[in-house]
Structures are given as structure tokens and as C-alpha cells.
Amino acid sequence: MPEPHHLFLRACLNLPTERTPVWIMRQAGRYLPEYMSIRQQAGDFLNLCKNPELATQVTLQPIDRFGLDAAILFSDILVVPEAMGMGLSFGSGEGPLLEPPIRNRSDLERLHPFDPEQELDYVMETIRTIRKRLDDRVPLIGFSGSPWTLATYMVEGGSSKNFSRIKGMMYDQPELLNGLLNRLVEAVTRYLNAQIRHGVQAVQIFDTWGGVLGHREFLEFSLANMQKIVAGLDKTGPDGLPVPVILFAKGCGAHLEAMAASGCHVVGLDWTTDIGEARQRVQGRVALQGNLDPAVLYASPERIRQEAARVLTAYGPHPGLIFNLGHGIAPDCHPEKVASLVQAVQGFQHESRHP
Ligand code: CP3
């Protein structure tokens, strides 16, 4: 198979790179004044996601401003439940709402199987527009929520603190929950394959809420479903290059070996795991992405540089690292701090290479 030349794609495939590539979860967002201005032009966040021209502009903003090594499609994981027939809104302050929530068999039957080329045609058009506008400067990452994480929003009806509804369902009516998860496996597989057909060059599956599960429950209700998706993906793009799959499961460092055996190319780590130890544990079977605490961006530029160097040194001078935060950038982050971080990573040299 041909080898990619982009640093990000090479690192995902464990191929050697002259330096560590860096991108940042939520790199396009409210901390950027230029994002706020486009969002205002769109009216609200969901309109922005559905406007391919404006969604393209906000996708490119952090690339132009910081020189990051990959772009990520601007969209949201919750457009999938909306395309399956649920009502989606982003209330100010309280986060996303999905209505009516899925609580029984008839709620489940109301969901429709969806064709991503139809209901999410605006995402496909955004992907094509971004690829044109990027002109191969950096690769484009597509994404989806994991079935478990999407199900938490669909069953709870929005964000949750205790996950009482979905966990009650998991223990008392596992067949109902599995009915929902199976539909999501099919939807996400189709969705990501459509993104790949339209031009994304890597995909990331976000399991933001995998970490609220016990070990057995994570394997059964979250990881097994992500594994089915990975198995069903077209791992060669229209350009003939391999399309790496990144699994990011927040709070799931304890299940690292199991994730590394899922068939994915990259495991994304949050900041609670030491990345050097993680590398020992996965033994080169997958590349790793992460894992600076996003709160480091509240510190001084000098401290940011030190903390970035700590992650890079802990991983060591080996292939297979994609630098990222352990979760998304906070809306109150100062853009200058992100610039310091990107410079620190891109300018970093391992001591052993400087005799
Ligand atoms: O990373 C990127 O730059 C790409 C864009 C992206 C967004 N959401 C934009 C967004 C991605 C990859 C996501 C994924 C997403 N959405 C996840 C998984 C990743 C994670 O953060 O854990 C989740 C759980 C969601 C659901 C969601 N969407 C939540 C909980 C919220 C926050 C609600 C709030 O008001 O804080 C959103 C909204 C959202 N998604 C924003 C952005 C830029 C903020 C919307 C705004 O402009 O007000």
C-alpha cells in the first residue's frame, strides 16, 4: 500500500516522522474570536454546522492561525441522532437537548435507519468544500460519537451527571439498550464510510462517556460496539491511502490494552494516564494520541512549554505519537496559549538527537 507523506497520517500508522504532529480537540470553537463572529453570522451553532461554506471557514480558522498538522471537520456528534428522527437543540447554558428521549421499545421503533448521503448531505458537502479549500496542506479528520456515548444523550435526553436512566436500562433491560446500540453501530459505520468516500483522510470515534462504565460494562456495551464499527470501515480512501481509525475514550486508561486490540490504528488518551507507561503497555501495536491536561493552557507560556516537553519526553523518540490535549479546549482559553503550545510541540527536539 502507498505511504502517506503528511506527518499526522504517518504518525497514525506508526511510520517515522521528522517531528511530532499536533492537532487539538475542539480546535475550532468559542475561544476564537473569529469563530464567534462566524457563529453570529450563522445565527446559532446548529445552523453553522448545517452551512457548508461557514463550517468550512471555521474548520480552517485554527489551521490558518496556528499551523496545526491536521484539520477536523466542524460538526457535532449529535447530528446523527437528529438524522435518526430526534429533535436536537442547544439550549444556552444547559448543553444539548435531544427530545423525546428513548425510554422504551416504541421510542426505539420510532427511530429511522438513515442514509448519511441524504439526511447528512450537508456534512458531505462540508467535507468536499474543506478538502478543496485545504488543497492538501494538512489532512482532514472526520469523526463520530461512539454508540455508547450517543446512546447516553439519546436516553438521558441531553447531558447527564449520573447517567441514571441509561445505567438503569443497562442493568434492567439490556436487550432494549442493545437494540439501540445495534442501530447506532449500523448508523455510525455508514456515516463514517460516507465521510471517507467524500474525502476525510482519518476518522476519530469519540467515546466521551466510556469512562463512566465499569470494566466489564465498558467492554460489553462500549468497546465491543466500537470494534464492530472498526471492522466495518473502508480502511482505504478514494486516493488509495490507508484511512487510520482513532479511538478516543475519555477516562478509559484502565482499558488501554483492550482498546489497542480493537483493530484501531490509534488510541487517544486523556491526561490521567502516563503516556510513557501507556506506550509500554501497547508495545507498538497502535500509535498513541494525547495527552496534555487541557487546564495546562491556563498556565504561563513557559510552563506550557515545560509540560508539553514532559509529554514528548515521556513518550520518547519513537514513531507513533500524535500530540493533542487529553480533551477539548475550554471556551475561556486564550488563543495565545494555544499558539505557545503548538510552537513548543513543533519546535521540540529529543535530547538524544542533539549529541
Ligand atoms: O474538535 C473540533 O474542533 C471539531 C468540532 C466538534 C464539536 N463537537 C464542535 C462543538 C467535535 C469533534 C464535537 C464532538 C462532540 N460533541 C462531542 C465529543 C467530544 C467531546 O467534547 O467530548 C460531544 C460529547 C458533543 C456534544 C456537545 N456538543 C456538547 C456536550 C456541547 C457543549 C454544549 C455547550 O454549550 O458547551 C456541544 C456543542 C459544541 N460542539 C460546540 C462546538 C464548537 C460549542 C457550540 C457553540 O458554539 O456554542
pLDDT tens per residue, range 246-295: 999 999 999 999 999 999 999 999 999 999 999 999 999 999 999 999 99
Our answer on whether the CB atom of 209 is closer than 6 Å to any ligand 1 atom is no
C-alpha 163/C-alpha 168 separation (Å) is: 8
C-alpha 258/C-alpha 249 separation (Å) is: 12
Instruction: Give me the percent of the chain exceeding a pLDDT of 70.
Output: 99
Our answer on whether the CB atom of 74 is closer than 6 Å to any ligand 1 atom is yes
pLDDT tens per residue, range 122-136: 999 999 999 999 999
Q: Which are the catalytic amino acids? A: 26, 30, 39, 76, 153
Mean pLDDT of the region 235-256 = 97
The alpha carbon of 168 and the centre of ligand 1 are apart by a number of angstroms equal to 26
Confidence class of residue 352 from pLDDT cuts 50, 70 and 90?
low
C-alpha 289/C-alpha 116 separation (Å) is: 28
Lowest mean pLDDT among 44-53, 190-199, 344-353: 344-353
Minimum CA distance residue for ligand 1 atom 39: 76
**Average pLDDT of the chain?**
97
Our answer on whether the CB atom of 133 is closer than 6 Å to any ligand 1 atom is no
Our answer on whether the CB atom of 80 is closer than 6 Å to any ligand 1 atom is no
Which pLDDT belongs to residue 93?
73
**pLDDT for 206 beyond 70:** yes
**pLDDT for 95 beyond 70:** yes
pLDDT tens per residue, range 123-180: 999 999 999 999 999 999 999 999 999 999 999 999 999 999 999 999 999 999 999 9
C-alpha 296/C-alpha 308 separation (Å) is: 9
Minimum CA distance residue for ligand 1 atom 5: 74
Which ligand 1 atom lies nearest to the CA of residue 143?
A: 12
